[in-house]
């Protein structure tokens, strides 16, 4: 086994494994730094990542009690302003249970390791309803099925069932769990997943199989992905000899955008040493 | 000390004393004891038991003075056997301050005096704070004769002014009083007084500049948090509601304003465990105040002592006592048993010492069955040359080794210099000079298998620094006999690189800001050329790491500086390169605190090792004659003791103070090391040090007094 026993499995490292086992090996086991070729135009790309981060921050500030008008005054960017206006107008919080846990991290022992996930927001009516909300600043996806298949959509509800008893004041029943992807660009079309026992058992088995497989692989046995679309925006592109030109921002497919947007999550984790 | 370094908490049982701590719920408890007495392990049991009792984990706050000191907690929280839970917050005071400022900025920015309260705060790193300090200080040095009498490297001058700002915030001394305080304590030549005035002026100008531009260096983050946020209703309520259980470890290593905060906050916690190491205080030069920390005992409901060290052998404990007596020039009561834990070695020159150290380490591992992770090599200061020689020799002996340093000199790495040379040549309009030596070295780095002689030949022909055009000459135009000497293999690679640069230049559209963005150039050069077969960075993982870190350093600089500078990428890149050359940037690139592989021999400065809080079986103390074990750094612009709450403002610093503080600091240092050692210490005495001097510092004298009474194991 090439994994240390205290390895933490998260949606981003599991998704990396699903997309490309070699990327998982390079990034999380070998921890190999490799200069990335960023999607071009680079500065525009960076700007959009920072806008995404800032949007998450604004909602967090709003949720902890900062007045919306005070926050609005701090926005000088058209795109961000649009997202923020959409958020205020659509009021996605309105329908949610009243106990709110923004930027909340759960973790649980699982398949001999630990699973960890950081949620943008969990809203709870204890013992009745528990809603996971994920703010998406990328382009809204056209194919909900592909979003449903992503690790995030499977791991987040699964982990909430396993570790959410503190905030639910008791065992979490899968039927109580919903997950909502809310799109800043298209607030009227959120993507909702109603969880249930069948899905829970399926996801539990799927994630267990995935972890067991990763844990059984020896170093050097992590294959390069056969689907080189995953390489277009991967920082190891030149190491793997999978092309040497960065992808173009315009060509960024939804799937890849999602992949990169997940990295925002990592950046959020790196801001400060405290998780809220 | 931490029994948990190698064992999981479910593999050991608490001692009787530790059990008593676990039973003291719903109170605030002050736990003190020497290093190695099991305090952090007690805290881990305590945390574990909180979780087992169903305490909501999000209500638990773990506070430490430095992130390395939280390693045991992070390790525990990763254990697969722990129950499902919410993540626990582990913070330092500065991490907490930064996060709170980020969240509550709009509420306090105006009152705190920032000129643009509706714009976001910009947090400065050590590098970017130094950069802005240069912009304040350089014109004053160049046009107004500031610091004329100070014989100090410019970068140390900037960092000492920043250090004063930090001490002012961390100790709670008003910024405008720093200079006056230093002046009052000064008992030397009057010419120094003006230096303190100039330092004060620079510090105030820097602070004004930060307020004007929404910049927050460490000092401003701490001040804003303590003076504005903690008293703001919303932020305070947020923190009070959020946390009900506290573990505050190594309080002796924290700064006084952190102690003030906890003193105020403590009554609001349901449970609190405060942990005090009676031997600590290693971060005093950073403003830590163990005595102030100890005053927190009076606000805790109960105190418990753990007196017995669980790490150190009885012989080492005796050695510690005798060494302290010897340092204090007291009469020695020496027990011959301490010879069992000491090996003393004398070598005249460094290479001999290195060889011997490596052989001894190898012997411990191969013959003694000691795990490499159980060995540490320390010195008060470890130069890059010494580090390189040690690592090199160990690697030859196939000993797994790692070097831990809080920062590394990124700019001096050959890979960095190579990348920056090509960047300057590819952007002639930046007007950054490139010497032939630069080109030669860049060629050696860039082309696989190219030796210095052929690189010299090639660089002489293709690079003419005096010429109008800064274009690199083509290999195809070189005379055939010379081409042959350089070899066609090298020529082909060189041409590939040269053409890539030419193409890059011809595609350079000035409208596209990406084209002047230094990190874009660096990542493309790496990815499109240098990391490919036939080039120097092909499968070169160290070069990849250097390049990644250099790109990060450029990015961080750009993101901050674009807020206060002419915003074009061109001028930011030039500014970055200038600052690299001045040694302001990439000279102290902070290393990830998590990059610690525990199964390797560790080489680290002594204080850095102590802050890892990790005992080992064997320690190697290098060059015990070095004055570095005794003397503090020469800091003409600041003073760690005068800028502390311990200092009596009416006092004058003199030789007696110097002697006393050096003695106390050295006792703390060696005791800290011994308390983190289980079996034995190798003491190395060096005839001639790296500077070519023979040093006989206080530690050597103290140890020699002891060794004289012991049967020899080596010539000393
Ligand atoms: S470049 Fe492609 S093959 Fe290589 S790690 Fe990335 S995704 Fe995998």
Q: Is the predicted pLDDT of residue B638 greater than 90, yes or no?
A: yes
Residues B545 and B461 in one domain: yes
Q: Is the predicted pLDDT of residue B511 greater than 80, yes or no?
A: no
Closest listed residue to residue A234, CA positions, set A48, A141, A243, B419: A243
User: Looking at A240-254, B189-203, B501-515, B536-550, which range is the least confident one?
Assistant: A240-254
Of B186, B213, B240, the domain-final residue: B213
Which residue's CA is the nearest one to ligand 1's atom 4? A240
Cβ within 8 Å of A, B 201-260: 234, 238, 242
A275 in a structural domain: no
How many domains are contained in chain A? Answer: 1
DSSP string, chain A: --S-TTPEE-HHHHHHHHH-HHHHIIIIIS-------PPBSHHHHHHHHHHHHHHHHHHHHHHTT--HHHHHTT---HHHHHHHHHHHHH-TTTTS-SEEEEEEEEEEEETTEEEEEEEEEEEEETTTEEEEEEEE-SPPPS-HHHHHHSHHHHHHHHHHHHHTHHHHTSPPPGGGEEEEEEETT-TT--EEEE--HHHHHHHHHHHHHHHHHHHHPPTT--PPPS-GGGGTT-TTTTTTTS-SSPPBGGG--HHHHHHHHHHHHHHHHHSSS---
pLDDT per residue over B69-88, tens digit each?
A: 888 888 888 787 777 666 78
Residues B484 and B574 in one domain: yes
- How far, in Å, is the centroid of ligand 1 from the Cα of A224? 6
Instruction: Kindly indicate the confidence band of residue A251, based on its pLDDT and cuts at 50, 70 and 90.
Output: low
pLDDT per residue over A177-194, tens digit each?
A: 999 999 999 999 899 999
Q: Is the predicted pLDDT of residue B154 greater than 60, yes or no?
A: yes
Q: Is the predicted pLDDT of residue A269 greater than 50, yes or no?
A: no
Q: How far apart are CA B558 and CA B170, in angstroms?
A: 28
User: Looking at A108-122, B7-21, B444-458, B483-497, which range is the least confident one?
Assistant: B7-21
- Average the pLDDT over A71-93 and give the result: 95
Which residue's CA is the nearest one to ligand 1's atom 3? A224
Amino acid B365: pLDDT: 96
Residues B91 and B238 in one domain: yes
Q: Is the predicted pLDDT of residue A241 greater than 90, yes or no?
A: no
Amino acid A247: pLDDT: 60
Residues B354 and B431 in one domain: no
Instruction: Kindly indicate the confidence band of residue B590, based on its pLDDT and cuts at 50, 70 and 90.
Output: low
Amino acid B379: pLDDT: 93
CATH assignment at residue A113:
3.90.320
Burial grade of B446 (CB within 10 A; 0-12, 13-18, 19 or more): buried
Q: Is the predicted pLDDT of residue A262 greater than 50, yes or no?
A: no
Burial grade of B11 (CB within 10 A; 0-12, 13-18, 19 or more): exposed
- Average the pLDDT over B571-577 and give the result: 89
Q: Answer whether A166 touches B (CB < 8 Å).
A: yes
A4 or B173, greater pLDDT? B173
Amino acid A252: pLDDT: 55
Amino acid A187: pLDDT: 92
Kindly provide the ipTM of the predicted complex, given to two decimals: 0.85
Q: Across chain B, what does the average pLDDT equal?
A: 88
Amino acid B612: pLDDT: 82
Residues B400 and B418 in one domain: no
Amino acid A274: pLDDT: 25
Q: Is the predicted pLDDT of residue B405 greater than 90, yes or no?
A: no
Q: Is the predicted pLDDT of residue B51 greater than 80, yes or no?
A: yes
Q: How far apart are CA A114 and CA B148, in angstroms?
A: 59
Strands B85-86, B122-123: pairing is unpaired
Please say whether the beta carbons of A211 and A13 come within 8 A: no
- Name every chain B residue with its beta carbon within 8 A of the beta carbon of A61: 103-104, 106
Please say whether the beta carbons of B676 and B311 come within 8 A: yes
Instruction: Among A149-153, B66-70, B379-383, name the most confident range.
Output: A149-153
B592 in a structural domain: no
Rg (alpha carbons) of chain A, rounded to whole number? 19
Please say whether the beta carbons of B608 and B286 come within 8 A: no
Q: Which two tokens stand for residue B181?
A: 């305080």
Closest listed residue to residue B667, CA positions, set B277, B281, B316: B281
Q: How far apart are CA B497 and CA B500, in angstroms?
A: 5
Residues B380 and B425 in one domain: no
Residue A115 beta carbon below 6 angstroms from any ligand 1 atom: no
Q: How far apart are CA B557 and CA B576, in angstroms?
A: 7
Cα dist. A23→A17, A224, A240, B576 in Å? Answer: 7, 8, 10, 32
Q: Is the predicted pLDDT of residue B233 greater than 60, yes or no?
A: yes
Q: Is the predicted pLDDT of residue A264 greater than 60, yes or no?
A: no
- Average the pLDDT over A242-248 and give the result: 65
- Name every chain A residue with its beta carbon within 8 A of the beta carbon of B522: 35
Residues B682 and B548 in one domain: no
3-class secondary structure per residue, B412-454: HCHHHHHHHHHHHHHCHHHCCCCCHHHHHHHHHHHECCCCHHH
Amino acid A255: pLDDT: 45
The distance in angstroms from the start CA to the end CA of chain B is: 33
A273 in a structural domain: no
Q: Which two tokens stand for residue B694?
A: 């023979």
Amino acid B484: pLDDT: 92
B615 in a structural domain: yes
Residue A236 beta carbon below 6 angstroms from any ligand 1 atom: yes
Q: Which domain holds residue A44?
A: 8-266
Q: What is the percent of chain B with per-residue pLDDT over 70, rounded to a whole number?
A: 92
Q: Is the predicted pLDDT of residue B595 greater than 60, yes or no?
A: no
For chain A, the residue count is 276
Residues B170 and B62 in one domain: no
Amino acid B179: pLDDT: 97
pLDDT per residue over B293-337, tens digit each?
A: 999 999 999 999 988 777 889 999 999 999 999 999 988 888 888
Could you count the other beta carbons within 10 Å of the beta carbon of residue A131?
20
Strands A177-183, A191-194: pairing is antiparallel
Amino acid B597: pLDDT: 58
- How far, in Å, is the centroid of ligand 1 from the Cα of A229? 9
B589 in a structural domain: no
Closest-CA distance of chain B to residue A48, Å: 14
- How far, in Å, is the centroid of ligand 1 from the Cα of A234? 6
Of B556, B582, B608, the domain-final residue: B582
Q: Is the predicted pLDDT of residue B147 greater than 90, yes or no?
A: yes
Q: Which domain holds residue B468?
A: 410-582
Q: Answer whether B106 touches A (CB < 8 Å).
A: yes
Q: How far apart are CA A59 and CA A123, in angstroms?
A: 14
Q: Which two tokens stand for residue B421?
A: 């040379």
Amino acid B334: pLDDT: 81
A44 in a structural domain: yes
Residues B44 and B146 in one domain: no
Residue A17 beta carbon below 6 angstroms from any ligand 1 atom: no
Residues B536 and B455 in one domain: yes
A164 in a structural domain: yes
Residues B135 and B251 in one domain: no
A117 in a structural domain: yes
How many domains are contained in chain B? Answer: 4
B316 three-state secondary structure: helix
Q: Which two tokens stand for residue A222?
A: 């992590």
Rg (alpha carbons) of chain B, rounded to whole number? 28
DSSP string, A9-62: E-HHHHHHHHH-HHHHIIIIIS-------PPBSHHHHHHHHHHHHHHHHHHHHH
Amino acid A250: pLDDT: 58
Q: Closest CB to A274: pick one of B83, B89, B524.
A: B89
B192 or A266, greater pLDDT? B192
Strands A8-9, B302-305: pairing is unpaired
Q: Answer whether A114 touches B (CB < 8 Å).
A: yes
Q: For residue B679, which phi and psi values (nearest 5 degrees)?
A: -120, -50
B549 or B173, greater pLDDT? B173
Amino acid B592: pLDDT: 53
Chain centroid to CA B399: how far? 25
- How far, in Å, is the centroid of ligand 1 from the Cα of A225? 6
Q: What is the percent of chain A with per-residue pLDDT over 90, rounded to a whole number?
A: 59
Q: Which of A19, A31, A225 to probe ligand 1 with, by most ligand atoms within 8 A of CB?
A: A225
H/E stretch holding B166 reads: helix B154-167
Q: Which two tokens stand for residue B61?
A: 């706050």
- Average the pLDDT over B114-135 and give the result: 92
Whether this model's pTM surpasses 0.80: yes
Amino acid B3: pLDDT: 45
Of B268, B286, B305, the domain-final residue: B305
Q: Is the predicted pLDDT of residue A71 greater than 50, yes or no?
A: yes
B268 in a structural domain: yes
CATH assignment at residue B623:
3.40.50.300
- How far, in Å, is the centroid of ligand 1 from the Cα of A244? 12
Q: How far apart are CA B206 and CA B135, in angstroms?
A: 9
Amino acid B36: pLDDT: 83
Q: Is the predicted pLDDT of residue B509 greater than 70, yes or no?
A: no
Q: Is the predicted pLDDT of residue A212 greater than 50, yes or no?
A: yes
B218 in a structural domain: no
pLDDT per residue over B596-611, tens digit each?
A: 556 889 998 898 888 8
Q: Is the predicted pLDDT of residue B569 greater than 90, yes or no?
A: no
- Average the pLDDT over B469-489 and give the result: 88
Cβ within 8 Å of B, A 24-53: 32-38, 40-43
The answer, yes or no, to whether the previous bond of A41 is cis (omega within 30 of 0) is: yes
Residues B277 and B355 in one domain: no
A244 in a structural domain: yes
Please say whether the beta carbons of B328 and B663 come within 8 A: yes
B235 in a structural domain: yes
A274 in a structural domain: no
A19 in a structural domain: yes
Determine the Cα angle at A104 with ends A99 and A107, to 5°: 120
């Amino acid at each position: 086994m090439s994994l240390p026993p205290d390895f933490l499995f998260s949606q981003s490292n599991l998704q990396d494994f699903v997309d490309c086992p070699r990327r998982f090996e390079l990034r999380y086991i070998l921890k190999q730094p490799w200069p990335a070729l960023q999607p071009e135009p680079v500065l525009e790309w960076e700007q959009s990542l920072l806008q995404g981060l800032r949007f998450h921050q604004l909602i967090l500030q709003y949720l902890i009690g900062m007045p919306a008008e005070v926050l609005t005054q701090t926005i000088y960017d058209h795109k961000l302003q649009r997202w923020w206006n959409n958020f205020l107008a659509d009021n996605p919080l309105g329908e949610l249970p009243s106990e709110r846990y923004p930027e909340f991290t759960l973790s649980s022992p699982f398949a001999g390791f630990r699973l960890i996930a950081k949620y943008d927001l969990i809203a709870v009516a204890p013992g009745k309803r528990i809603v996971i909300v994920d703010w998406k600043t990328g382009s809204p996806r056209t194919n909900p099925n592909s979003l449903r298949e992503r690790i995030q959509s499977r791991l987040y509800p699964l982990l909430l069932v396993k570790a959410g008893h503190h905030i639910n004041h008791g065992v979490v029943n899968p039927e109580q769990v919903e997950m909502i992807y809310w799109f800043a660009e298209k607030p009227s079309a959120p993507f909702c997943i109603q969880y249930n026992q069948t899905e829970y058992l399926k996801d539990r088995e799927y994630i267990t199989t995935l972890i067991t497989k990763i844990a059984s692989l020896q170093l050097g046995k992590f294959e390069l992905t056969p689907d080189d679309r995953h390489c277009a925006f991967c920082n190891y592109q030149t190491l793997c000899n999978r092309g040497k030109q960065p992808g173009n921002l315009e060509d960024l497919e939804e799937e890849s955008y999602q992949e990169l947007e997940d990295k925002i999550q990592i950046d959020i984790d790196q801001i400060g040493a405290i998780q809220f | 000390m931490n029994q948990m370094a190698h064992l999981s908490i479910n593999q050991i049982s608490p001692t009787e004393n530790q059990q008593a701590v676990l039973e003291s719920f719903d109170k605030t408890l002050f736990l003190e004891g020497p290093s190695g007495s099991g305090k952090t392990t007690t805290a881990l049991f305590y945390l574990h038991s909180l979780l087992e009792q169903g305490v909501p984990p999000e209500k638990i706050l773990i506070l430490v003075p430095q992130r390395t000191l939280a390693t045991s907690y992070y390790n525990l929280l990763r254990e697969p056997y722990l129950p499902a839970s919410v993540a626990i917050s582990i913070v330092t005071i500065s991490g907490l301050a930064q996060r709170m400022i980020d969240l509550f900025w709009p509420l306090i920015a105006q009152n705190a005096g920032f000129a643009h309260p509706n714009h976001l705060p910009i947090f400065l790193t050590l590098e970017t704070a130094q950069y802005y300090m240069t912009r304040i200080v350089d014109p004053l040095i160049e046009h107004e004769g500031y610091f004329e009498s100070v014989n100090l490297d410019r970068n140390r001058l900037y960092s000492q002014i920043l250090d004063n700002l930090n001490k002012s915030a961390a100790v709670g001394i008003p910024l405008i009083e720093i200079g006056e305080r230093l002046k009052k304590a000064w008992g030397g030549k009057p010419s120094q007084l003006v230096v303190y005035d100039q330092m004060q002026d620079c510090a105030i100008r820097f602070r004004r500049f930060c307020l004007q531009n929404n910049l927050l260096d460490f000092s401003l983050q701490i001040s804003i948090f303590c003076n504005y946020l903690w008293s703001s209703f919303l932020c305070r309520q947020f923190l009070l509601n959020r946390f009900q259980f506290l573990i505050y470890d190594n309080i002796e290593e924290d700064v006084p304003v952190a102690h003030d905060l906890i003193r105020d906050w403590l009554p609001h916690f349901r449970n609190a465990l405060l942990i005090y190491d009676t031997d600590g205080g290693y971060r005093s030069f950073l403003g830590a105040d163990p005595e102030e920390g100890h005053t927190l005992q009076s606000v805790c409901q109960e105190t418990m002592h753990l007196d017995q060290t669980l790490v150190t052998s009885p012989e080492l404990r005796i050695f510690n006592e005798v060494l302290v007596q010897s340092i204090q020039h007291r009469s020695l009561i020496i027990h011959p048993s301490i010879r069992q834990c000491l090996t003393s070695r004398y070598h005249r020159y460094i290479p001999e010492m290195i060889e011997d150290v490596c052989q001894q380490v190898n012997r411990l591992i191969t013959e003694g069955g000691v795990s490499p992770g159980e060995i540490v090599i320390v010195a008060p200061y470890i130069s890059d040359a010494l580090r390189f020689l040690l690592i090199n020799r160990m690697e030859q002996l196939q000993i797994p080794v790692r070097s831990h340093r809080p920062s590394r000199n990124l700019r001096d790495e050959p890979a960095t210099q190579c990348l920056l040379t090509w960047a300057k040549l590819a952007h002639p309009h930046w007007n950054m000079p490139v010497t032939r030596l630069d080109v030669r070295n860049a060629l050696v780095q860039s082309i696989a298998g190219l030796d210095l002689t052929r690189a010299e030949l090639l660089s002489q022909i293709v690079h003419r620094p005096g010429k109008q055009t800064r274009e690199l000459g083509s290999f195809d135009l070189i005379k055939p006999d010379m081409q042959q000497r350089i070899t066609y293999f090298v020529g082909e690679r060189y041409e590939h690189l040269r053409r890539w640069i030419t193409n890059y230049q011809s595609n350079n559209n000035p409208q596209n800001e990406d084209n002047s963005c230094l990190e874009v150039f660096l990542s493309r050069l790496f990815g499109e050329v240098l990391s490919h077969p036939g080039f120097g960075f092909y499968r070169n993982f160290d070069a990849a790491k250097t390049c990644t870190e250099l790109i990060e350093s450029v990015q961080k600089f750009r993101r901050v500086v674009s807020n206060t500078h002419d915003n074009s990428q061109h001028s930011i890149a030039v500014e970055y390169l200038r600052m690299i050359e001045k040694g302001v940037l990439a000279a102290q690139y902070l290393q990830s605190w998590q990059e610690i592989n525990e199964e390797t021999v560790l080489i680290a400065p002594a204080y850095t090792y102590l802050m890892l809080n990790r005992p080992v079986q064997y320690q190697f103390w290098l060059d015990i004659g070095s004055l570095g074990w005794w003397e503090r750094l020469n800091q003409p612009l600041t003073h760690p003791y005068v800028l502390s709450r311990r200092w009596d403002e009416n006092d004058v610093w003199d030789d007696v103070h110097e002697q006393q503080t050096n003695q106390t600091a050295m006792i703390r240092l060696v005791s800290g090391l011994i308390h983190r050692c289980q079996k034995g210490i190798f003491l190395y005495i060096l005839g001639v040090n790296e500077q070519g001097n023979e040093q006989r510092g206080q530690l050597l004298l103290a140890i020699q007094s002891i060794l004289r009474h012991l049967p020899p194991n080596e010539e000393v």
